[in-house]
A = this chain, B = another copy of it.
Amino acid sequence: EKIDQALQGGDAFMPATTQRKFRIAAGDFVEFLILPGLIQHLSLEARGVMIEVVPLPATNVLSTMLESGEIDLVINTPMTLGAGLRYEQITVIELVTMIWAREGVPPGRFPLELYLQRPQVMIELHQRNGNIIDRTLTSLGLERRIGALVQNFMAMPVIAAQTGYICNLPKLIAQVFADNFGLSCHEPPVEFPQPELVAYWHTRYDADPGLKWLRERVKQSIRT
């Protein structure tokens, strides 16, 4: 087919002139992590490229949507998605613990006692990140206090800034909010696992130069 021919890499991808829309499925924190740097780059170097970020579809339809081209890339923590997909690591998620700066917690590791005593703003439990923390604490026989359960990563630092509650955020996002909202960032009081963030695509598009370019830009944008 014509589509498949094009996908075999016959056509070069020229960022400066190509008109193309990419659709990326990702959770809200990934969107926030990747998009500002990526869009900034596009606005300078690839003005015909448009990015749409959509919520993560159910796991059982992801593979089909990647194969059909309905979605170009899925960015998430590692999942079991079956045959026909490839992935590569985008970054590793390192968590930091935040509290309002007026608390005067010294730089460095967050004190465990305060971590367990002060209420925390958490992502509601359907989402995975909260589970990493709670699973680790449980394995140590510890438990944190729930102050509020939210659905949105960005709501956490804003609430923490107004209440003195603790929140835990990926380091790369935390730094944006720390300065702007008067929060201090610390290493967590115990070592949490550091999950990978990976990009999935369908093998059908292995040779698509545009998709290769996009994945490279996604990785670059995190370091911005």
Contacts and interface: CB of A to CB of B under 8 A. Distances in A.
A54, A126, A181: most-surrounded residue (chain B CB, <10 A)? A54
Contacts of A52: 124, 148-149
A31 interface: yes
The oligomer's copy count stands at 2
A124 to B, nearest CB: 6
A54 B180 contact: no
B36 A159 contact: yes
B181 A43 contact: no
A98 interface: no
Nearest to A179: B180
A151 B71 CA distance: 14
A53 B158 contact: no
A37 interface: yes
B164 A31 contact: no
Interface size of A as a range: 35 or more
A119 B149 CA distance: 35
A126 B55 CA distance: 10
Given A151-B28, A154-B154, A39 B162 contact: yes
A32 interface: yes
A39 B163 CA distance: 7
A158 B28 CA distance: 13
Contact of A124 (B32, B54, B152): B54
A147 interface: yes
Contacts of A163: 36, 39-40, 43
Contact of A159 (B39, B124, B126, B146): B39
22 contacts: A28-B151, A31-B151, A35-B155, A36-B158, A36-B161, A37-B162, A39-B148, A39-B162, A39-B163, A39-B165, A42-B148, A43-B163, A50-B146, A50-B147, A50-B149, A51-B149, A53-B150, A54-B151, A152-B152, A152-B154, A154-B154, A180-B180
